[in-house]
Amino acid sequence: MRPALESTDARNKLKDLSGVDIKPGENPYDSLIKACDGHAANIQALYASHRITRNAQQREKFLAPGFTELIIDPFLLRLETPELEPGFQDPRNCLVFWARPPDHIIKLASHLQRLLRKAAPDLWLMPAHRMHMTALEITHSKTPEEIARLVTLMRPAIPEVTSFTYRNRSRLVKPFISYDLSAVAVSFLPAAGEAVVSPAPVAPHPEDILHPGLLDQNTSENDKYTYHHLRRDVFEAARATGVEIASRYVVPSAHITLGRYLTQANHQTPEQRQIWIRAIEDINAWLESEVWDVTGGEYSGEWIVGQEKGLDARTGPLWYGGGRTIMLGEGF
């Protein structure tokens, strides 16, 4: 019997660096909202603090004299290199609600991938059509039979949850490259009054005309309902079905994974690691000056969650964007 593969999570814990104390049994997303008095600016500040602090920690690890190696994902390595273990299949089944990025965010994310690959040519890139942001992970690493039982419990609530973003709109802004020893992502902050710069939603649905207040939600004045409020409400709706929410982590992060490391080749020497860190920092400087709060630029970094597609109730072996959709909610 071959030894069990170790997930990168076991070696690379994603810790909450916001300082918010989550009590057992609480809705963990509500804890942060209460700590911020429900103010969008305070919530944004905690998300920003988390990603800046984590990047600083990871920079220190990459540049440390005692650096040993990257954390290579053994599951992805076998899927991408079939000769290592012919017939290998990822046994980890999950149940999640994903937010799917609209086209202008996919365009930006794909550009960021190209920039990153210049510094690390062997980086594995998430295919554009698989890009996603996890709004809520119900559970992970289960058998298909275990997941099927949970889907049966949740099925009555799935239509409401997947289309929740149609009437409850939250904005994400200020994209930024976040990274660690196993992966690299583009992360966003919940909006807090910034000017609206993203493309307008697709032409109004008849229901928008009957309920014009929906159109008013695509403004900076409505940022009091943040992405973290959305996560809180999706968590509560899922928990109300009786399922146990067993997420791997609950942190103030809104991110799309862009790539993972499958080899040590591009990061073996101190000079290579310096190049990698410098590339990330240069990209972040470009994002801040050329993408944040920019109207009419080539790239837009603002995302109104639910634009073009509602939430995606997804199941199966979906660690790398795979699996199947149970239901995709209505977009706007």
Say how many domains are in the chain. Answer: 1
pLDDT score for 5: 77
Lowest-pLDDT range of 10-19, 123-132, 151-160: 10-19
pLDDT score for 9: 65
Long-range CB contacts (< 8 A, 24+ apart) of 34-38?
38/224
- Count, in order, helices (H) and strands (E) of the chain: 12, 9
Q: Are 97 and 136 in contact (CB under 8 A)?
A: yes
Q: Are 54 and 20 in contact (CB under 8 A)?
A: no
> Is residue 9 domain-resident?
no
- The contacts of residue 300 (CB under 8 Å, 6+ apart) are 104, 105, 108, 197, 198, 199, 291, 294
Q: Tokens for 144, please give them.
A: 């298909």
Positive or negative: CA dihedral 110, 111, 112, 116:
positive
> Is residue 13 domain-resident?
no
Per-residue buried b or exposed e for 232-250, using 16+ beta carbons within 10 Å of the residue's own CB:
bbbbebbeebebeeeeeeb
Q: Is the pTM of this model over 0.85?
A: yes
pLDDT score for 1: 45
As a whole number, mean pLDDT of residues 322-327 equals: 97
> Is residue 16 domain-resident?
no
Domain that holds residue 270: 25-328
> Is residue 117 domain-resident?
yes
Asked if the model's pLDDT at residue 13 lies above 80, the reply is no
Q: What percent of the chain has pLDDT over 70?
A: 89
> Is residue 315 domain-resident?
yes
Q: For residue range 14-55, what is the model confidence (pLDDT) as tens digits?
A: 566 556 666 767 899 999 999 999 999 999 999 999 999 999
Positive or negative: CA dihedral 275, 279, 281, 285:
positive
Average pLDDT, the chain: 91
Number of other CB atoms surrounding residue 73 within 10 Å: 24
Q: For residue range 167-206, what is the model confidence (pLDDT) as tens digits?
A: 999 999 999 999 999 999 999 999 999 999 888 777 766 6
> Is residue 54 domain-resident?
yes
Say which CATH number the domain at 102 has.
3.90.1140.10
> Is residue 209 domain-resident?
yes
Distance CA 186, CA 188 (A): 7
pLDDT score for 10: 57
Confidence of residue 217 (pLDDT cuts 50, 70, 90): low
Sheet of 93-99: strands edge to edge?
133-142, 93-99, 312-316, 324-328
Number of other CB atoms surrounding residue 135 within 10 Å: 22
- The contacts of residue 3 (CB under 8 Å, 6+ apart) are none
Asked if the model's pLDDT at residue 268 lies above 60, the reply is yes
> Is residue 4 domain-resident?
no
